[in-house]
Amino acid sequence: MTFDLSDSTPGTVIYEETPEGFMVPRQTEVDPSSKPNHPPDLYDYVPASQQLTAKDQLEQDLGRQSLMLGIESNIEIIPHEALMIPPMLKCYIHEPGNIKSFFSAKQDESTRMLQYYLLDGASILPVLALNIKPGDKILDLCAAPGGKSLAMAQCLIADEIVCVDTSWSRLNRLKDTLRWHVPGVFDTANLSGTRMQVILENGEAVGHQQPDRYDKVLVDVPCNTDREVLTSDENNRFKRTRVTERLRLPQVQADLLKSGIRACRAGGTIVYSTCTLTPGQNDYVVEAALTQLQDSHPNIKVVVQECSDIADRLAHIFKFWTGSKYGQVVLPTPSANFGPGYFAKLVRVE
C-alpha cells in the first residue's frame, strides 16, 4: 500500500523511510512546543450533538444482555511483543500540519494496476498489531470495503487471507479493490503468494463454523464511525431512524469479537478495532466479550496483550491517548489528522 503524499510541485519534498517502514518528509520536524504537557480528556474529542453517553447507550440495550460499565472481571494483561513491520508494506504520509487532499490514484502503465490505495493513516495500525508472519492464515471478519485486507495482502508473507462480510455490494467493492491493486489476486498462484478468499457470511457465525482455524484474526467492527457522522448526513448512525441500531451496536460488536476469538487457534492473535472514540464501543466491548466468553466457553482462555510498542515507536506520527485500559486510541489533531481509531490486541492462550 502506497500513499501519495507528493506536494503539488513535484520534487519539493524529500521523503525518507523510517525504521518502521513509513515514508516521511526529511526536512520537516515537529515543533516540541506544540506537544501537550498532559494527555487530553478523551471526551474533549467525542462529538456531542445528539449523542448519548456511553452509560446511556449500554443501559438501553433494548433488553439484550447488557454490557455493564464497571463489570467485575479478571482479565489478564501481558507485556507487548516487539513490533515487526513487514518490509513490503509501504505507507506514505503528509508532513505534520499538511492538510492538502491526496491525488487520485493512477494506473501503472506496465501492470495496469492502480499505483496506491488511499487509507486513513490510523487504519494501518490494527494491521501492524496483528504482527503478520510468514505462513499465517488470516481471517478478516468484517472485511469490506477492503483497505485493511489490501494492506495485509501487500505484506506478501501470509499463506491465506479470508475476507468475510454480510453484504454482497460491500464484498463486490472489496473484490474490485483487490483486483485493482494486486495482479491476479484471486488466481491459485498470484504474484503476492497469498491465497485470497471472499465469503458472504454473518461474522457472528464464523467462530462456530470454523473454530480454531486461523493464526491471526482482525475484528474491525461496525461502529459510530465518528469522522463520517461529523462530515456526512448520508447513512449517518445518529439519524433518529437508526437509534435502535446504534444502541444495539455494543452487543453486536461483542458478539463479533467472541466469534473471532473462537475462530482463532490456540496461540493465535486477535485484534479488535473501531473508528470511534466512544468508550462503550472500545474497552467496554473487549471487557464484556471476554467476560461473556468465560461464562459460555470456559475452555477458551484469552489474555490482552499491550500495544505500547506501537504507540512508542509511532508517536512521532500519531497522537495516542494514554487512558485506554486494554488498547490504544488514536486522536485526530490539526497537525496529525488521523483517526479517530481504537485497537486492542488479544492472544488466545488455550
The Cα 132–Cα 136 span in angstroms is 7
The Cα 38–Cα 55 span in angstroms is 26
Kindly list the distances between the CA atom of residue 190 and the CA atoms of 135, 178, 182, 334, in Å, as whole numbers in the listed order: 15, 12, 8, 41
The Cα 270–Cα 212 span in angstroms is 12
DSSP 62: T
Question: Coil, helix or strand for 172?
Answer: helix
CB under 8 A, 24+ apart: contacts of 310-317: 310/80, 310/83, 310/125, 310/128, 310/129, 313/19, 313/20, 313/83, 314/20, 314/22, 314/125, 316/30, 317/22, 317/24, 317/93, 317/121
User: Among the options 155, 163, 223, 275, which is catalytic?
Assistant: 275
The C-alpha cell at 123 is: 487504519
Q: Known catalytic residue: 307?
A: no
Contact in structure between 328 and 320 (CB atoms under 8 Å): yes
Task: Give how far the C-alpha of residue 185 lies from the chain's centroid of Cα atoms, to the nearest Å.
Answer: 22
Contact in structure between 126 and 343 (CB atoms under 8 Å): yes
Contact in structure between 120 and 338 (CB atoms under 8 Å): yes
Q: Which residues are catalytic?
A: 275
